[in-house]
Amino acid sequence: MKDFIAYCGLDCENCQARQATINNDDNLRREVAKLWSELNQAEITPEMINCTGCRIAGPKTPFCDAICPIRQCAKARNYETCADCKEMEHCEKLAMITANNPDALNNLRL
């Protein structure tokens, strides 16, 4: 499995939070924080936008690091990704992502 595929199947390599982190781009951090705040109806500050990737060593956003139920579940089960789980196709946690992003599920199926 490609290193930049998150536990849920999202492609971290193309994530704007990761791009802002690796390029130290504060303007992009502000843009991502604003967008994610609107999408999640929660205050997300530019300082929170630091992430190298879900399964890559380095910083994570607060949500990904400590709150994401998908990441927490996969890590607790010592899975490389959700693709290792026999319940993947029917998982309600995973559906939070895959219902709106079919590419994530396809990434896990590869």
Which residue range is the domain that position 45 belongs to? Answer: 12-109
Residue 1 belongs to a domain: no
54 falls within a domain: yes
The structure tokens listed for 37 are 């705040």
Q: Is residue 2 part of a domain?
A: no
B/e letters for 24-49, b = 16+ CB within 10 Å, e = fewer, are eeeebbeebbeebeeeeeeebebebb
Query: Is 68 inside a domain boundary?
Result: yes
What is d(CA 61, CA 67) in angstroms, rounded to the nearest whole number?
A: 10
Residue 5 lies in a domain: no
Query: Is 6 within a domain?
Result: no
Domain count, the chain: 1
Interval 39-79: pLDDT, tens: 889 999 999 999 999 999 999 999 999 999 999 999 999 99
pLDDT score of 1 more than 70 = no
Is 87 inside any structural domain? yes
pLDDT in tens, 8-29: 999 999 999 999 999 999 999 9
Which tokens go with 102?
């079919």
CA dihedral sign of residues 101, 41, 26, 64: negative
What per-residue confidence (pLDDT) applies to 50?
Answer: 97
